[in-house]
Structure 1
Amino acid sequence: MADSKVETLSRLAQWRIDGFGPSSCRKSEPFKMGIWNWHLLVERNRYLNVRLFPELSRISKEQPPLARFVVRVSVAGSGRRLFTSQVYDKLLRTCEDFGWSIDCAFHGRFIIDVEFLDLKIYPSNGGEPTPVWLGDGSGLMQSAAIQRTLHCLSRMLEEAIHSDITIDTSDGSLRAHKAILSASSPVFQSMFRHNLKEKESSVISIEDMSLESCKALLKYLYGCINQEDFWKHRLTLLGAANKYGIADLKDACEDSLLEDISSNNVLERLQEAWLYQLDKLKKGCLMFLFDFGKVYDVREEMNNFFRQADRELMLEMFQEVLTAWKPV
């Protein structure tokens, strides 16, 4: 419908409704404000009820808007009237989160204005809300700049633009950039800062990684890895993160490995946790085995595991058994 369209300009949204019966409901088309698509909804019975809410989407669910706004309703005609709401500051997720009622009996044409005074992204982890608009903090400009930078970094890697280092893997070679590697890893930075062979030859040998897994490592460092590649190579990436001192990658691998512990992989995960000193993963594996009683599902694999396991790890597992079986 023509009169379901909302016009926007700067931080103002305006909906002109030409005809409205004494008892009806109408929803606007979606309109863009900030990073969200929005809807206005008007209901008419005894009162005129105005609702404002974000369109249901992944963005509105994961990054709901915290909006500061004012609503105005103006009635057309000879007896022009203007109704103005208070200034609202609300977290908006659904159509139930905000409603404003006007006690009036007019019919016909009227205009709804919503002026957004401020918009912030409400954090799911309970931290500080992030401003959206330029001038309020990071906002859309920072988001656009980040996306642009990541796009450029991806091109630098994929097209080897001004690359100055060769990485030899077990089954092929890749081109990369000393500056990116140095900024990402204290080990790489040390290679290029001191008079080591890597500095002189501009070649790094990483023969304990395949070409494919090393490319996944570089994609992570350049900010362009996808979830599928990360998931596929996370064990190899964990080893690389530990070897080259990439703490954030090591944490990401640990969190990922913690998400899908099962009877089929718990002993392998426990060994990895011990090898790379991953306390969260180790605790998760021990809880899975003993607190949740899954140790009975891996009895056949235990003998082989104990033959290879570190003595201190075995002692810790034994202590976990005593704790789990301690009388209440």
Structure 2
Amino acid sequence: MADSRVDTVARLAQWKVDNFGPCSYKKSDPFKVGIWNWYLSIERNRYLYIHLFPEPSRISKENPPVAKFILRVFNASSSRKLYITSVHERVLRTYDDFVWHVDTTFVGRFIIDVEFLDLKICPLNGGEASSVWSYDGKMQTIAEQSTLSCLSCMLDEAIYADLTIITSDGTLRAHKAILSASSPVFQSMFHHNLKEKESSTIRIEDMSPESCTVLLSYLYGTIKQEDFWKHRLALLGAANKYDIGGLKDLCEESLLEDLNSGNVLERLNEAWLYQLHKLKKGCLTFLFEFGKIYDVRDEMNNFFQHAHRELMLEMFQEVLAIWKPV
């Protein structure tokens, strides 16, 4: 029914009520403001009682709104007599959480306005309520996406590129400023009077063009997950060589995630080579505490022929720690 419809624009909701008698009750249709559906209801006894409440739902139960609002009611005649509340701010969960009684003799047609000044999500487990209309996170996301798009374009189209990278089988173009901001090793190359500064060329000949491209995509913030997984070991070596701490940590976490009997010895060797203590501990735990050493018995002979002596000593100490008598 049109008489139950609430119209909304921006943060304002308006309900035009017709034919409301001296002893009546009426409830509006639901209307959406913020992330909640809302209702208004009115009833008249001695006073006109106006209720504002969210629709009972999972979202209003788990994330009840903290509403800051003003409520107005006025008749639709030419006199337009107005009643207005003060600014209210409260958690609204039920029909009874906000009731405004207006000492008025309005009959016939009148209008109710609700202006939401702010709507916040009230976390059930405590903590500070956050506005559903906060633009901080949205602006940050849009700004980050715009920046990454620009950086991707700079890399892909070599816009004002001032650096040539010589890989194992080809060359790539990049920007000294990006590499310098990402790595103190690169920054040192271009800051001091080294040959890299004079020639605007660096050699990364221990990486293929594909792996080096993925490294650059990480530094420019445009790396894809499938490329990262495919080139993890090459990226780990570059992160260690050029002191790119965040990338090194990311590689370690990733190599630990998919540890299994088929790769544990290789991962253990990488952990030793690059001083990845968490990965090394994970490999030793996998082998000895979880008993997977028996799954790799055939590969152990070859492993010990190439493993560093101190690593073998650590493995032996791990065995003693597990098997020591109680």
Q: Does 1:102 align with 2:96?
A: yes
From 91, 111, 118, the equivalent of 1:116 is: 118
| Residues 147, 210 of structure 1: alpha-carbon distance in 2 compared, 3 angstrom cutoff | same
2:89 is matched by which residue type in structure 1?
A: V
Deviations 1:209-260 (A, max 9, x none): 1111111111111111122222221211111000111111111111222222
* Runs (5+) with no aligned partner, structure 1: 57-63, 90-97
TM-score, structure 1 length as denominator?
Answer: 0.71
CA distance in 2, matches of 1:320, 1:23: 76
Identity among equivalent pairs (%): 54
Partner of 2:20: none
2:168 is matched by which residue type in structure 1?
A: S
CA distance in 2, matches of 1:5, 1:318: 76
From 47, 54, 59, the equivalent of 1:50 is: 54
1:174 is matched by which residue type in structure 2?
A: L
Per-residue deviation at 1:196?
2.2
1:292 is matched by which residue type in structure 2?
A: F
Per-residue deviation at 1:315?
1.6
| Residues 41, 128 of structure 1: alpha-carbon distance in 2 compared, 3 angstrom cutoff | closer
Per-residue deviation at 1:263?
1.9
Is contact 1:39–1:54 with CA below 8 Å preserved after alignment?
A: no
Partner of 1:226: 224
1:114 is matched by which residue type in structure 2?
A: F
Partner of 2:47: none
Is contact 1:41–1:52 with CA below 8 Å preserved after alignment?
A: no
Partner of 1:159: 157
CA distance in 2, matches of 1:116, 1:298: 62
CA distance in 2, matches of 1:158, 1:54: 46
CA distance in 2, matches of 1:4, 1:235: 60
| Residues 127, 285 of structure 1: alpha-carbon distance in 2 compared, 3 angstrom cutoff | farther
* Runs (5+) with no aligned partner, structure 2: 18-23, 44-50, 102-109
Partner of 1:248: 246
From 206, 209, 218, the equivalent of 1:208 is: 206
Please show how residues 284-295 of structure 1 align to structure 2 within 5 Å: 284-295=282-293
Per-residue deviation at 1:5?
7.2
Is contact 1:72–1:83 with CA below 8 Å preserved after alignment?
A: yes
| Residues 82, 128 of structure 1: alpha-carbon distance in 2 compared, 3 angstrom cutoff | closer
Per-residue deviation at 1:87?
2.8
| Residues 50, 189 of structure 1: alpha-carbon distance in 2 compared, 3 angstrom cutoff | same
**Matched residue SS, 2:207:** coil
**Matched residue SS, 1:295:** helix
**Matched residue SS, 2:236:** helix
Partner of 1:316: 314
**Matched residue SS, 1:188:** helix
CA distance in 2, matches of 1:128, 1:313: 49
CA distance in 2, matches of 1:205, 1:128: 51
Partner of 1:325: 323
Per-residue deviation at 1:42?
4.3
CA distance in 2, matches of 1:247, 1:128: 33
| Residues 189, 295 of structure 1: alpha-carbon distance in 2 compared, 3 angstrom cutoff | same
2:231 is matched by which residue type in structure 1?
A: H
Partner of 1:95: none
CA distance in 1, matches of 2:267, 2:279: 7
Per-residue deviation at 1:76?
7.2
Partner of 1:198: 196
Per-residue deviation at 1:140?
4.0
Per-residue deviation at 1:71?
4.9
Partner of 1:187: 185
**Matched residue SS, 2:166:** strand
CA distance in 1, matches of 2:241, 2:196: 16
Q: Which has the larger radius of gyration?
A: 2
RMSD: 4.5
| Residues 227, 15 of structure 1: alpha-carbon distance in 2 compared, 3 angstrom cutoff | farther
Is contact 1:39–1:52 with CA below 8 Å preserved after alignment?
A: no
Q: How many residues align?
A: 296
Partner of 1:94: none
| Residues 281, 73 of structure 1: alpha-carbon distance in 2 compared, 3 angstrom cutoff | farther
CA distance in 2, matches of 1:155, 1:247: 25
**Matched residue SS, 2:230:** helix
Please show how residues 246-285 of structure 1 align to structure 2 within 5 Å: 246-285=244-283
CA distance in 2, matches of 1:293, 1:199: 52
| Residues 272, 52 of structure 1: alpha-carbon distance in 2 compared, 3 angstrom cutoff | farther
CA distance in 1, matches of 2:314, 2:152: 44
| Residues 113, 174 of structure 1: alpha-carbon distance in 2 compared, 3 angstrom cutoff | same
CA distance in 1, matches of 2:171, 2:303: 36
Partner of 1:7: 9
Please show how residues 55-74 of structure 1 align to structure 2 within 5 Å: 69-71=67-69
